[in-house]
Amino acid sequence: AIQMTQSPSPLSASVGDRVTITCRTSQDIGSDLAWYQQRPGKAPKLLIYAASRLQSGVPSRFSGSGSGTEFTLAIGSLQPEDFATYFCLQDHNFPLTFGGGTKVDIK
């Protein structure tokens, strides 16, 4: 199975900060990576698919980049509703695998 390594965890930041989260994979997955946001008690929400495509309805302060084995999720200016846990998911090979998650909390 493809191993997913997410960093940092946790991540402490303030409203207005630009933050970046990295996901590294154990093998080349092209652009077959998605990013999800999960708020406490809620289901994950798709933010980014195909490494860099913004899901409809997701604010433009979210962006994704990368290919191959290293990927980044950036939040341009952190808003109060962005304090949550973020996961990456590779859908290049079965079994699909998630990163361990990055909890973004208030500094």
Partner 1 sequence: QLHLQESGPELMQPSETLSLTCSLSGDSTSSSDQFWTWIRQSPGDGLEWIGNIYQSGSTYYNPSLNSRVTISVDTSKRQVSLSLKSVTAADTGRYYCARGRYYFGMDVWGQGTTVIIS
Residues that bind partner 1 (CB under 8 A): 1, 34, 42-46, 49-50, 53, 55, 87, 89, 91, 94-101
Task: State in angstroms the smallest separation of the CB of 2 from partner 1.
Answer: 11
In the complex with partner 1, which residue's Cβ is closer, 66 or 99? 99
**Separation between Cα atoms, residue 3 and residue 25, nearest integer Å:** 6
**Separation between Cα atoms, residue 101 and residue 10, nearest integer Å:** 9
Q: What's the half-sphere exposure (Cβ side, CA atoms, 13 Å) at 27?
A: 7
For the chain, how far is it from start to end, CA to CA, in angstroms?
Answer: 35
Task: State in angstroms the smallest separation of the CB of 94 from partner 1.
Answer: 5
In the complex with partner 1, which residue's Cβ is closer, 16 or 41? 41
